[in-house]
Amino acid sequence: MSEPVVHITNLHLRYHHKTVLQDLNWTINRGENWLLRGSSGSGKTSVAKAIAGLVKFEGDIDINFDLHSSLAPVAHYVANWYQFKDLEGQSNFYYQQRYNKQAEETTATVRAELENYGKNYHLDFAEAERLVTALGFSDLIDSTLIQLSSGEHKKLQLVEALWFRPQLLMMDQPYNGLDKLSRQHLNSLLEEISAAGTQLVLISNDKDLPSCINRFAEIKGGQLHETDAGHTAHFQEEENRPVPEFLSEGPISLADSIVKMNNVNISYGDKQVLKNINWEVKAGEKWLLQGHNGSGKSTLLSLITGDHPQAYANDFSLFGHRRGSGESIWDIKKRMGLISPELQWYFDPSATVKQSIISGFFDSSGLFRQPNYTQQMQANELIGYFGLKEYQDTLMNQLPLGKQRLAFLARTIIKNPELLILDEPCQGLDQHQAQHFNELVDELCSNGTTLIYVGHFESQLPACIEKRILLENGEVKSVETILESI
């Protein structure tokens, strides 16, 4: 009998004075491909990072690579989002920078990033090009990294991981930001590398998995428990709390139309990203914005949030006023709240949960002003409403993902905005977390708040959604009513 690839004995790991893993044991035998489930903060990521040698731990982890294999003798961990640097090695980007022409000149293109990656690991670039094509990413190969959306960053991260072909590949939330078709393509590629000898550990609560996954486990109470394929991770029931009184009355909208676009076009050089977009969002409406990766959703939202400079060159109105008629970007932002993957990437890592929530009053990526008494009291109410009291002094980037999203929702809603924009807010959340999050959205929007919600999957949407706009290749493919307002 051959020795196991990974043998873990009595793994103990603490993270910021909290025990995450307690005497965990796990054996990964040759030919096994695992799915690792668990609630947010249960320790899934910590186990993978420990195997990859990226965190300190107590206990024993023995890894036995096949020295006769052509695959890299590496336990390779792929994080849940792609982190990149500019040409000077800096990574302190800010949210609006992706629309800054100068920033494009200081960040590498996708092609250059891949060429550098291939050079470092002595890989054949032709294989990278094949993977780029397979993931539907080839038309962006000459785009700069800062121009990419969250789903496009994920595809680049996946291309590099699949191209590397390690003996053990551990992927944390590999489906984040991917549309349904891209997920299918990824599963085909995972089955391909598995057949070639790479063993997989996928950290995910998704149901659509590659057929090569043949072992299942859940981390609960700091230990690993093997389960069957149909097992659902254990979740604690969420406590229902009354909505804070200051949010019970709807925001006052002075215009019937919140967003109005007439034949809007956006181009980058010779590439047209949005083509003749006509769309009106009226006060109080709840919209779903959908489209495949690269369809133009992120660019469309950047016009609404005031971050895209080409808004001024189009017939486009917000809150009843034509863009460019004298309002500042801050005049716009104080009337809306936003959650997006990009905002989370660029958020101040030194901000605590409470500071982050209060920063929503000032539309800043961190708290750089002293709040008044009323603002502090409203933040306290929201912290209680979202069940975050025990985390209020914790740094945002130290929170489990599910708690992070609740804190960002609190930050987004704190000023009772007229327009709430939620761009894939459930990305990376399990079904239970997504359901809880969307139930909160339904409750918070019941006061008449206008909502634009971006989500790929109908199973992870708020019940209040009334209408849908679908983009395809930068054009409006369809607009439809999902349900009639009551």
Return d(Cα 252, Cα 35) in angstroms, integer.
47
**Interstrand relation of 467-472 and 286-291 (parallel, antiparallel or unpaired):** parallel
Length of the chain: 486
Give the number of other Cβ atoms within 10 Å of residue 270's Cβ. 5
What's the pTM value of the predicted model, to 2 decimals?
Answer: 0.78
3-state secondary structure of 422: strand
Name the strands in the sheet holding 271-282, side by side, starting at the edge strand that comes first in the sequence.
271-282, 257-268, 315-318, 321-322
Return d(Cα 27, Cα 7) in angstroms, integer.
5
Element of type H or E holding 128: helix 125-134
What single letter denotes the amino acid at residue 273? V
Q: Can you list the alpha helix ranges (DSSP code H) found in 310-419?
A: 329-333, 341-345, 353-358, 373-385, 401-413
Return d(Cα 89, Cα 170) in angstroms, integer.
26
> Residues 6 or more apart from 466 whose CB is under 8 A from it?
285, 286, 287, 481, 482, 483, 484, 485
**Residue-wise burial string across 420-436, b where 16 or more C-beta atoms lie within 10 A, e elsewhere:** bbbbbbbbbbbbbbbbb
Q: E strands of 192-250, at which residues?
A: 199-203, 215-220, 223-227
Paired with 257 in beta bridges are 282
Quick one: pLDDT at residue 95? 46
On whether the CB atoms of residues 37 and 216 are closer than 8 A, the answer is yes
Quick one: pLDDT at residue 39? 80
What single letter denotes the amino acid at residue 194? S
How would you class 371 by CB atoms within 10 Å of its CB: exposed for 0-12, middle for 13-18, buried for 19 or more?
Answer: middle
> Residues 6 or more apart from 75 whose CB is under 8 A from it?
6, 51, 52, 53, 63, 166, 167, 168, 170
Quick one: pLDDT at residue 325? 67
Return d(Cα 237, Cα 232) in angstroms, integer.
14
Q: What DSSP assignment string belongs to 132-186?
A: HHHTT-GGGTTSBGGG--HHHHHHHHHHHHHHH-EEEEEEESTTTT--HHHHHHH
Which residues of the chain form CATH 3.40.50.300? 6-227, 245-481
Distances (CA, A) of 482 to 236, 286, 458: 32, 10, 11
Quick one: pLDDT at residue 84? 56
Quick one: pLDDT at residue 143? 85
CATH of domain 6-227: 3.40.50.300
411-415-418-424 Cα dihedral, nearest 10 degrees: 0
Nearest to 177 by CA among 82, 85, 83: 82
Backbone φ and ψ of 372, nearest 5°: -85, 180
Quick one: pLDDT at residue 241? 83
Give the CATH fold of the 245-481 domain: Rossmann fold (3.40.50)
**Residue located via tokens 């409403």:** 385
Where the chain has pLDDT below 50, the residues are 87-88, 90-97, 100, 102-103, 485-486
